[in-house]
Structure 1
């Protein structure tokens, strides 16, 4: 790939001098050479991307995805995970430590960094807070940071010991590292199958109350304030959590948070069909919670939106709801989900491309002449179907698999490479 011409795309990136304009973008040797209303060029040997009606912006960045490497490559490996990310418009992905062994030492971090070298999608390891993600002893946070870990979280294991979480926040502050909290009190949430409410009562399943999350959000906000340390909450799902985080922000605390894209679209009413592809953690909440989350995205309380991409082999999903594993694949459906949730193009770009990078302390692509080309082209109105042909993941656990979706990523450019979705 030497020369690319993106033709007639609407450039949407706040702060760009041509924000909101229809432009052509010329890319040579991985650099943006020209951004103009019209670029006349001999097209022989040029990769032309016809983008009339489409949007061009900075490549999306996912703050929370799960790949299987190391140890769980039958679910997803670096190659298939980044292929799914590229198809979904992502040029950067933060990979969580839900692996076997967990990403809890410099060895696992270095493995991921080296395995992903040269890829069109940048892969950023998130190291574990505690050894083996057991919540008992701090992991080697500084060592992991020194070889490429961008943040620290125990993945889908919430840190239950307040003392350990407090020490992690204090230690991370000293080395300018970010602690990510997955907020769930196991003593309240344990053994549940779905959200606690009218639907769980109707279906006769043990429910997980909102309190399991909001109680832990409250605890970690107190710990962050006491230690004067920044904290990021991932995958919040309740109106109560939104209220707590908004209050903390109003006090001036350095707190940020994200929400999974599917929690902005689906409610616990979906569980009535016992489709295990709707089984996620945190669970799908009530319509009132969904409305509160969408409003919090729009008013800025929720800073970013993640995919929480969690692939599983068919034997873990094509089973009774009660024994199915939590999670869906989400890298390729984030854009359609957010359009379905009613977000504007500008809101989607803010939550998928700009704020996630700021939280992860990564530079936001500028799309200015002379800068490195890191961008996505997408059409908010184009329809496509997620099926065996278009799915790039090893797994197929998505409730919209086989269904027509609105909102298609046409192409991404990063690291001097181009991927075009046919």
Structure 2
């Protein structure tokens, strides 16, 4: 990588002495060598990047993304997944075990870790809680941790057995591992197509009630408290879940949670057109739920925003809504969704760069002289279109495909590598 000068960008790094200031950042041999209000290039070997009107911060970190590797590479592999991540401003992603085979032993963990070596985006596998994600027998959590697993979850298969979940929490506690709960009571949610409410009644489709999520949140909070263990809830979507977690935090429980970006901007009213790209799990909820989720973020109840990036081949989405697979692309659209939801640059850095790393115990990249450059440069106002030219994923299952979006990542720098997004 050539020496790089980012000029006239607003630095947003909480706690930094120059937080909020317009600065130039000089990067030499992959490390930050100087930060000043004005740096004049000393030779022609410096690649100058115009940061005027743009934000520079530590690279984003996604707590919940799905790649297809191993076994489902036709959906997404590590190369295309990390390309989409970089285009979305991410320098780190946690990938879930919704693969075939699942990431349920040290072999699969090692495969993902080794396949991602040398990439501009750091890839952290999330190992399963149970073998084969069947919810019957505890997987080899500690072995996976030693091989590089950052946390443990059964992905979109919620653990239905309370005893198994309790044992996972207790066992992971012994080596400071993190158990992630995808809260869904299948006996209540079974066979759902969308959110249960007026719209599902109007459309005549089986709905998933808020109760299916809040029941499981309540159960797992009880289990975490009983075992004095930490727990993280991913992709919460209801007002009831926010309230339960808020009370648990006030009580002193070691609990964190995240929300998917699309659940902050879309409601179940979008489903009226039967566009399968609005079919997600948890489903799109109501305006009341979105209001509670936004409030939960601002109050600190919700710790992070995730992409819940879930690519699918066209044959799984370009079908009737009832039989379509759940999930949408998210890595490249999380920033625009947060801008649409009304968040400031400071909010975005907090929910995408700082607090996600705190959840999994990863160091927040420092923007200091002498530190390795791990940066994102993004524009809050630039408009662009997600289409076949800009999409980096193998798949195209996004509700905003072909639409103009506001908020664009311009540059990602990490491990001495530079990606400029055109």
Please give the TM-score of this superposition, normalised by the length of structure 2: 0.99
Which whole-Å CA distance do the structure 1 matches of 2:47 and 2:122 have between them? Answer: 22
Give structure 2 stretches of 5+ with no counterpart.
Answer: none
Give structure 1 stretches of 5+ with no counterpart.
Answer: none
Deviations 1:184-241 (A, max 9, x none): 0000000010000000000000000000000000000000000000000000000000
Deviations 1:272-316 (A, max 9, x none): 010000000000001110111111111111000000000000000
Task: Answer yes or no: is 1:310 the counterpart of 2:310.
Answer: yes
> What is the match of residue 80 of structure 1?
80
Q: How many Å apart are 1:339 and its aligned residue?
A: 0.4
> What is the match of residue 321 of structure 1?
321
Which whole-Å CA distance do the structure 1 matches of 2:137 and 2:92 have between them? Answer: 30
Within 5 Å, which residues of 2 pair with 1:1-400? 1-400=1-400
Which whole-Å CA distance do the structure 2 matches of 1:411 and 1:393 have between them? Answer: 18
What's the secondary structure of 1:165's corresponding residue? Answer: helix
Runs of 4+ in 1 over 3 A off after TM superposition: none
Which whole-Å CA distance do the structure 1 matches of 2:252 and 2:349 have between them? Answer: 25
Q: How many Å apart are 1:45 and its aligned residue?
A: 2.3
Which whole-Å CA distance do the structure 2 matches of 1:326 and 1:60 have between them? Answer: 25
Deviations 1:330-352 (A, max 9, x none): 00000000000111111111000
Which whole-Å CA distance do the structure 1 matches of 2:400 and 2:299 have between them? Answer: 28
Deviations 1:17-51 (A, max 9, x none): 11010000001111110010000113522222101
Q: How many Å apart are 1:2 and its aligned residue?
A: 2.9
What's the secondary structure of 2:110's corresponding residue? Answer: helix
What's the secondary structure of 1:71's corresponding residue? Answer: coil
What's the secondary structure of 1:257's corresponding residue? Answer: strand
Which whole-Å CA distance do the structure 1 matches of 2:405 and 2:275 have between them? Answer: 19
Q: How many Å apart are 1:173 and its aligned residue?
A: 0.2
Which whole-Å CA distance do the structure 2 matches of 1:324 and 1:67 have between them? Answer: 19
> What is the match of residue 413 of structure 2?
413
Which whole-Å CA distance do the structure 1 matches of 2:300 and 2:43 have between them? Answer: 43
Task: Answer yes or no: is 1:404 the counterpart of 2:407.
Answer: no
RMSD: 0.6
Aligned residues: 422
What's the secondary structure of 1:240's corresponding residue? Answer: helix
Deviations 1:351-396 (A, max 9, x none): 0000000111110011011111001000001000000000000000
What's the secondary structure of 2:94's corresponding residue? Answer: strand
Please give the TM-score of this superposition, normalised by the length of structure 1: 0.99
